[in-house]
């Protein structure tokens, strides 16, 4: 696969946008760290696996709301905020 990307300047830095399909082909995505090196005049990018201990933990809504039942006692403006269905990407 050969993709042409143009180097541009953004806030004083040189930036190259890497297409999703190119990153996917090396198993990389948003947030993936890349080891960059020059080999035979070419830039080589290798994804660095993130150790399990450093991965961001996803929390369930119940975990996030532990103790939240006491919020209306502290601030009456949040009364009823815990009622209703999930509205985002939170886990069940």
CA atoms within 13 A on the CB side of 30: 0
pLDDT, tens digit, for every residue of 42-51?
999 999 987 7
pLDDT, tens digit, for every residue of 36-74?
999 999 999 999 987 766 667 778 877 888 887 777 777
Q: Return the biggest CA–CA distance within the chain.
A: 66
Q: Tell me the CATH architecture of domain 8-50.
A: Ribbon (2.10)
The domain limits of the chain are 8-50, 57-92
Whether the pTM exceeds 0.85: the reply is: no
């Amino acid at each position: 696969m050969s993709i042409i990307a143009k180097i541009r300047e953004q806030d004083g830095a040189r930036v190259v946008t890497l297409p999703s399909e190119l990153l996917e082909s090396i198993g990389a995505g948003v947030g993936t760290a890349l080891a960059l090196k020059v080999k035979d005049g070419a830039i080589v990018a290798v994804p660095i696996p993130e150790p399990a201990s450093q991965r961001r933990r996803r929390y369930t809504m119940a975990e996030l709301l532990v103790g939240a039942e006491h919020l209306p006692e502290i601030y009456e403006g949040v009364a009823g905020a815990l009622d209703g269905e999930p509205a985002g990407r939170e886990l069940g």
